[in-house]
Amino acid sequence: MNYVATLIVKTQSPERLEKGVALARQLIEKAGAEFGGMDWLSPGQAVDLFFSGASLAVIKPLLGAAMQQLQIDSFAQTQAGRKARMLIADMDSTMIEIECIDELAAAMGVKDQIAPITEAAMHGQIDFGEALKARVRLITGLEVEQVERIRDRRLSYSPGAKTLVATMKRAGANTLLVSGGFTFFSDFVARELGFDEARANRLEIKKGRLTGRLRPPIFTAQSKRQALIEVRNALKIPSDQTLAVGDGANDIPMLEEAGISIAYHAKEKTVAVADARIDFAGLEAILFFQGYRRSEFVTDEAKPESYRP
């Protein structure tokens, strides 16, 4: 069989997933493909359906629309080479559940001014670099101690974040965290989750307070794409074995560059360029999409020593 379609539900729901399997098989066969059986990656939660003899361009939109109605995440792809050798992931609202700049703004009492700029930038309605500078100016004077308290009290990880990174690393993949946010957060998150490397913007600090400026160069959407290319080339990883995940418009260049691109609980503009979308499940869905079984997941949360800030 040339192709595989993976179906995933957020939590174990055998009845809903079986309904999805029946509908997916019907759509696959209606499209003129030969159904080649299935394999449960996690009983009642994730399953692979194998097929051949039809165009992915035809089956993917049909399958995606049908599974959305059932609140099932799905991804139809070529079966060969599913496991990526490089993971590049956005931070805010992807690996973590918050937007760090919005939390800093709340501490300054200017969240109402900053949040709309963040939202417009994530939808690609305004230039990300200019939007970032404008938001950073609004948090001028914030004490570093306040930033530390926000990081310690407000930061929370997306479901499956640690398992995703740990499992791919054990399989030999390189892991890179990228963010249009700040190294103050990304270095911490990278250490906690076990990423090999993190790249982000650097806040300028003087006398224990934020100056309202960034230390150049500014890390932009194009910087994320360039980071993917640099690491991929340095490690001699084929393009089709790189996997990128993000949620906002500033993730689009790296998603377009990656061999496999996944939009995670993302804006529609981002979804439009991605190979797959995750709207219901957590980040563990990325492992299922690659063909990992739940029995292969690494859930040990010990911090690896490989991170280099």
Whether 222 is in a domain gets the answer yes
Given strand 46-52, what is the order of strands in its sheet? 34-42, 46-52, 3-8, 73-78
Residue 155 to residue 47: CA distance in whole angstroms: 32
Instruction: Spell 167-187 as b/e; 16+ CB within 10 A means b.
Output: bbbeeebbbbbbbbbbbbbbb
What rounded mean pLDDT belongs to the chain? 93
Tell me: the pLDDT tens digits for 260-288? Answer: 999 999 999 999 999 999 999 999 999 99
Query: 309 and 164: one domain?
Result: yes
| Domain span holding position 33 | 1-80
Mean pLDDT of 230-249: 97
Active site residues: 90, 92
Query: 46 and 90: one domain?
Result: no
Which is it for the CA torsion 252, 254, 257, 258, positive or negative? negative
Supply the CATH number for residue 186's domain: 3.40.50.1000
Task: State the maximum Cα–Cα separation within the chain, in Å, rounded to a whole number.
Answer: 68
Query: 90 and 14: one domain?
Result: no
| Domain termination site, one of 53, 80, 107 | 80
Q: Which residues contact 124 (CB under 8 A, 6 or more apart)?
A: 248, 249, 250, 252, 267, 269
Q: State which H helix or E strand residue 299 sits in.
A: none
CA torsion 229→230→235→238, rounded to 10°?
A: 10
Tell me: the pLDDT tens digits for 167-204? Answer: 999 999 999 999 999 999 999 999 999 999 999 999 99
Tell me: the pLDDT tens digits for 144-163? Answer: 999 999 999 999 999 999 99
Which class for 153: exposed (0-12), middle (13-18), buried (19 or more C-beta within 10 A)?
Answer: exposed
In the predicted structure, residue 303 carries a pLDDT above the cut 70:
no
Tell me: the pLDDT tens digits for 92-146? Answer: 999 999 999 989 999 999 989 988 887 887 777 888 788 888 899 999 999 999 9
| Domain termination site, one of 80, 112, 144 | 80
- Count how many domains the chain has: 2
Supply the CATH number for residue 15's domain: 3.30.70.260
| pTM for this entry | 0.93
Whether 69 is in a domain gets the answer yes
Chain mean position to CA 158: 10
Whether 131 is in a domain gets the answer no
| Domain termination site, one of 16, 50, 80 | 80
Query: 90 and 54: one domain?
Result: no
Confidence of residue 300 (pLDDT cuts 50, 70, 90): low
Residue 292 contacts residue 41 (beta carbons within 8 Å): yes
Predicted confidence at residue 259, as pLDDT, reads 97
Whether 116 is in a domain gets the answer no
Give alpha helix (H) positions in the chain.
Answer: 14-30, 56-69, 100-108, 111-122, 128-137, 144-154, 161-170, 183-193, 221-234, 252-257, 268-271, 284-289
Query: 57 and 185: one domain?
Result: no
Whether 55 is in a domain gets the answer yes
